[in-house]
Structure 1
Amino acid sequence: MPDILITADSASSVDALLLQDELSGVLLRMNGDSGRASFDIEAPCVRGGFYIARDAAGALLGCAALRPLGDDASPTAELKRMYARPGSRGVGAALLAFVEAQAAAHGYRQVQLSTRRINLRAVDFYARHGYVEVAPYGKYVSAPQSVCMGKALPD
């Protein structure tokens, strides 16, 4: 596996927008919804961030965001806009581990996410990394096409 460098960036940076556009295109083709409405790039984020993965030469590999789920005092974070470019082996796992470490450093006890049930690749990926189905939350309560998953973080 090549070296993967993950750094914090603005969700509205040129690189972040490029990766989010790619993710939105993939999601739109897969299920008819780009996912853009579920992530506000301008929203201030305390206890979270937007992260970009690059290879040793600086080429973009993927991205992920971490946001508080509920108010800032909540012990649960939400994983958003997770994306690894096709052919970038190990990037998804590296991003997920990085985001989980960031969540723990911010004092969260759990990470949750929502993805579409039709996105079996994502559902299987998260399950392989210890995520289990949890009760729907927020706008996903009335969205049967979505599956919400969560993982408790180690103390």
Structure 2
Amino acid sequence: MKIVKTDPLSPIATELMAELSEVLATITGSSGTNSFDVTDIKHPDALFALAFDDTGRPIGCGALRPLEHGIGELKRMYARSGTQGVGRALLAFLEERARELGYRQLWLETRKVNQRAVNFYQSRGYQVINNYGRYQGRDDAICFAKDIRLSIKKQTP
């Protein structure tokens, strides 16, 4: 698998985000497009990543954008059906880039009904936090945070 930073307006990125929107609409009743503006990824401390399998087929995507000083927000995380390990690889890639950009924490929101996503993030060390920003007061939303400084691997001498 290969993961690369790319333009979120590229045809492949647009295709994957459209697939994600269809999947989210089926699971949650909302495509999630109202909470993501692709121009947010044009910020110097933001990025959009695509995952490709060994044959070069696009199999997933994810985005990182600034939220507050030292806090980045994960958006548009998606792995095509039938793939294995794509979400984990994308998340690790985005966490590493976030550390390189100086973020201390990553936050994200998903819908409570999207139990697969809830379980995914919890199994990777994300903790439930109070709903933030546009998600405050939304009973259908669940927000998570992870201190990515704790994820830095210690090097042995």
TM tier relative to shorter chain? over 0.9
Match of 2:96 in 1: 101
In 2, the alpha carbon distance for the partners of 1:10 and 1:39 equals 15
Specify which of 45, 52, 56 is matched with residue 47 of structure 1.
45
In 1, the alpha carbon distance for the partners of 2:55 and 2:76 equals 23
1:26-105 equivalences under 5 Å are 26-43=23-40, 44-70=42-68, 74-105=69-100
Determine what percentage of the aligned residue pairs are the same residue. Answer: 44
Match of 1:124 in 2: 119
Runs of 4+ in structure 1 deviating by more than 6 angstroms, as ranges, are none
In 2, the alpha carbon distance for the partners of 1:101 and 1:85 equals 22
In 2, the alpha carbon distance for the partners of 1:123 and 1:57 equals 30
Tell me the TM-score normalized by structure 2. 0.92
Task: State whether structure 2 residue 2 is matched by structure 1 residue 5.
Answer: yes
Deviation of 1:13 after TM superposition, in Å, equals 0.7
Tell me the TM-score normalized by structure 1. 0.93
Deviation of 1:46 after TM superposition, in Å, equals 2.0
Say which SS state the counterpart of residue 108 (structure 1) adopts. Answer: coil
Deviation of 1:55 after TM superposition, in Å, equals 1.0
In 2, the alpha carbon distance for the partners of 1:120 and 1:16 equals 25
Match of 1:145 in 2: 140
Structure with greater helix share of residues: 2
Deviations 1:66-86, CA, capped at 9 Å, x for gaps:
00013xxx1000000000001
**Contact 1:12–1:42 under 8 Å retained in 2:** no
Counterpart of 1:23, as a letter, is L
Say which SS state the counterpart of residue 116 (structure 2) adopts. Answer: helix
In 1, the alpha carbon distance for the partners of 2:37 and 2:54 equals 29
In 2, the alpha carbon distance for the partners of 1:29 and 1:141 equals 23
In 1, the alpha carbon distance for the partners of 2:44 and 2:132 equals 20
Deviations 1:95-141, CA, capped at 9 Å, x for gaps:
00000000000000000000000000000000000001011111001
In 1, the alpha carbon distance for the partners of 2:7 and 2:88 equals 21
How many residues are paired up?
Answer: 149
**Root-mean-square deviation (Å):** 0.9
Match of 2:155 in 1: none
Deviations 1:4-58, CA, capped at 9 Å, x for gaps:
1000111111000000000000001111100011111133222120000001221
